[in-house]
Amino acid sequence: MIGIVGAGAFGTALAVALANGGREVRMWARDPAQVRAMQTARQNARALPGVMLPENLAVEAELAAVLGGRALLLAVPTQALGGLLDRWPQIGARQPLVACCKGVDLASLLGPVEMILARRPGAEAAILTGPSFAFDIARGLPTALTLAATGDASALQELLSTPTLRLYRTDDVRGAELGGALKNVIAIAAGVVIGAGLGDSARAALMTRGYAEMVRLAEVLGARAETLAGLSGFGDLVLTCTSSQSRNFRFGVALGRREAFDPAVTVEGVATARAVVRLAAERGVDMPVTAMVDALASGRITLESAEAHLMNRPLKQE
Ligand SMILES: NC(=O)C1=CN([C@@H]2O[C@H](COP(=O)(O)OP(=O)(O)OC[C@H]3O[C@@H](n4cnc5c(N)ncnc54)[C@H](O)[C@@H]3O)[C@@H](O)[C@H]2O)C=CC1
Ligand SMILES: O=C(CO)COP(=O)(O)O
């Protein structure tokens, strides 16, 4: 059995793909009304309307029902992960924990695996990340992801791979965590550029310079540059900066157009930008694109001054 905590878009998509791949899956949602609706309609109408839940995917109202399997996937937004682990001490005692989220925690400046290990020392912890929209995964479209764990991830890799979900493993947990977290910030910047009508060339420039600062910070924090060049960094950066399926990209487009954006939608890059600005300052790393996204998203600067600031930085070697 594979347990999943969190029945949002990503948790449900993984649950559907794993169940369609022949695994027994149990997914827990905190809202009993949502559980009943999913049990009755065999759909997650809130997160993935139109996707049928296979028979071997059970939707559970009790957390205990999803514990004790071969792995427990934690599919909640990064800013909710700490609270989840604090609220439910029984999570983690009996199975490997796989973080299925992308971000840096604002309260602790830690990544998802670091947050798990800070609260559950000695737990077997991993992160599943990489270019993959929930709807694509749920529809059974081919998807490749990175599974990063400090120990040997071969058994988990086998368990979580299906004919449509192909997992590559790495021991560079820091690199995988940071690739997924930092690309969301750059995707917001790419959205701003498109929303403001600055053009595809400007987007390509921002993606490239954004990638440079992602690698700069990741290396200082002990990650390997080659991990950032893989699925969890470069791969996800390309996907998220170029598709309007991405919520981070769409949030950026709204910012660029000076339009409002639904605050109920999960946009990981906003809190992560704020956290990364602090992390970068602590480590003395220059991250101009991230700083600009944070300042824009929090309304501290205008679009015009953000553009002028980035274009008027001292000329330098690439
Ligand atoms: N949607 C996508 O295409 C993908 C999302 N991700 C990542 O997955 C993570 C989750 O995102 P989504 O599922 O898309 O967000 P979502 O907003 O669709 O769902 C989040 C779910 O977490 C639940 N939740 C929040 N706090 C909770 C708590 N304390 N206890 C229990 N449940 C809680 C919410 O009720 C909601 O069902 C994010 O870090 C995101 O970056 C990764 C790859 C693809
Ligand atoms: O991480 C994702 C795709 O890999 C999903 O991106 P958004 O959270 O921006 O929708």
Q: Which CATH superfamily is domain 175-311 in?
A: N-(1-d-carboxylethyl)-l-norvaline Dehydrogenase; domain 2 (1.10.1040.10)
Binding site annotation covers 265?
yes
For the chain, give every residue range classified as CATH 3.40.50.720: 2-171
The pair of structure tokens assigned to 267 is: 């946009």
- Report, as an integer, the average pLDDT of 263-278: 98
Indicate whether residue 10 lines ligand 2 (CB < 6 A).
no
Residue 163: pLDDT band with limits 50, 70, 90 = very high
- At residue 281, the pLDDT reads 98
- At residue 306, the pLDDT reads 86
Which ligand is closest in space to the CA of residue 77? 1
Q: Which CATH superfamily is domain 2-171 in?
A: NAD(P)-binding Rossmann-like Domain (3.40.50.720)
Q: What is the DSSP string of 200-264?
A: HHHHHHHHHHHHHHHHHHHHHTT--HHHHTSIIIIIHHHHHHH-TT-HHHHHHHHHHHT----TT
**3-class secondary structure, 43:** strand
Among 81, 266, 268, 270, the mutation site with the greatest number of ligand 1 atoms within 8 A of its Cβ is 266
ipTM for the complex shown: 0.99
Shortest CA distance to 221 belongs to which of 61, 131, 111, 298? 111
- At residue 314, the pLDDT reads 81
Question: Quick check: 93 pLDDT over 80?
Answer: no
Please list the residues that pair with 145 across neighbouring strands: 167
- Report, as an integer, the average pLDDT of 276-294: 97
**Long-range contact pairs involving 220-226 (C-beta distance under 8 Å, separation at least 24):** 220/283, 220/285, 221/174, 221/178, 221/279, 221/283, 222/174, 223/172, 223/174, 223/175, 223/178, 223/179, 224/172, 224/175, 226/175
pLDDT digits (tens, 9 = 90+) for 227-237: 999 999 999 99
Asked if residue 318 lies in contact with residue 209, where contact means CB atoms within 8 angstroms, the answer is no
Q: Which has the minimum average pLDDT: 7-11, 33-37, 46-50, 314-318?
A: 314-318
Question: 246 C-alpha vs ligand 2 centroid, how far in Å?
Answer: 5
pLDDT digits (tens, 9 = 90+) for 14-54: 999 999 999 999 999 999 999 999 999 999 999 999 999 99
pLDDT digits (tens, 9 = 90+) for 299-311: 999 998 888 888 8
Which ligand is closest in space to the CA of residue 249? 2
For the chain, give every residue range classified as CATH 1.10.1040.10: 175-311
Ligand 1, atom 44, lies closest to the CA of: 133
| 183 given a catalytic annotation | yes
* Element housing 109 (H / E): none
- At residue 200, the pLDDT reads 96
- Report, as an integer, the average pLDDT of 70-89: 98
